[in-house]
Amino acid sequence: MLVKDVMTQRLVTITPDTGIKGALTKPGFVGVTSVPVVDAHGRLCGILSEADLIGNLADDPRAHERPITIRPLTTARTVDDVYTRSPIVIRSGDDVTSAVDMMAAHRFKSLPVVDHQHRLVGIISRSDVVRALARDDEAIAQDIRRLFEKLGHTGWTVQVATGIVEISGPSHASHRSLAHAVSRTVPGVVHVHVR
C-alpha cells in the first residue's frame, strides 16, 4: 500500500506571512494539531503546530510549583516568527509502512507528503492508515481481482481474511512476485501469501 493511496489531499495550508491570529482563525485549523506552511508555489516550508504557538514550557521538574510561563504571542506577529522549518516529509510513492515507521519513531500524528519539487501534495496521518486498514475484506479482494484482470491473469484466485491476502494460481516465480507486488498496493492489505 502506497502513501498516495491513503493520504488526505484536501488540505488547509498557510503561508509564512500569515498573521498569527489569521492562522488561528483560518477555517479548517480548528481541531487540527498542525498545519503545513507553503510558499507561493506550493512548496513546503515547514509546519505550524500547537507547540509552535504556545511556546516551550519550562522543563524544570518543579515547574508545577510556579505559574506556567508561556512565550507571549505578542512578539510573534506572523507564522514566519514561530513555525517549524525543515519538517520530516515522505513521498507519495513511498510505502505506507515507511510513513508509519517515521510517525512512530518521531511520535508524530501526521507527515506532510511532497513531490520531487518539494511541493505539498498531501498529508498522511495515523487515522488515514487506520481507515485504510479497516477496509472490508471483500472490497480488498475485488480491487486485487480487478488489477489481476487488467494484467491478463483472470485465473488467479484471491481470498482475503482480516486483511491477509491468499493468492493461488501463479506458477512461475516471476508471476508469484508480480502477484505479491500488485496485491501490496491495495489499501487495506496487511500481508500477502502467494501459493
Dist CA 110 CA 123 (whole Å): 7
Provide the residue type at 73 as one letter: L
Range list of H helices, the chain: 3-6, 20-25, 50-54, 96-106, 126-133, 137-150, 173-184
pLDDT by position in tens, the chain (length 195): 789 989 988 888 999 998 887 777 775 665 567 889 999 999 999 998 877 776 633 344 554 555 554 544 446 688 898 898 989 999 999 988 899 999 999 988 889 999 999 999 999 999 888 888 888 999 999 999 999 999 999 999 999 999 999 999 998 999 999 999 999 889 888 899 998
Contact 75, 20 (CB under 8 A): no
Global pTM reads 0.69
Q: Is 29 exposed, middle or buried (0-12, 13-18, 19+ CB in 10 A)?
A: middle
Domains in the chain, CATH or no CATH each: 3-133 (3.10.580.10), 137-194 (3.30.1340)
Cα end-to-end distance, the chain, whole Å: 21
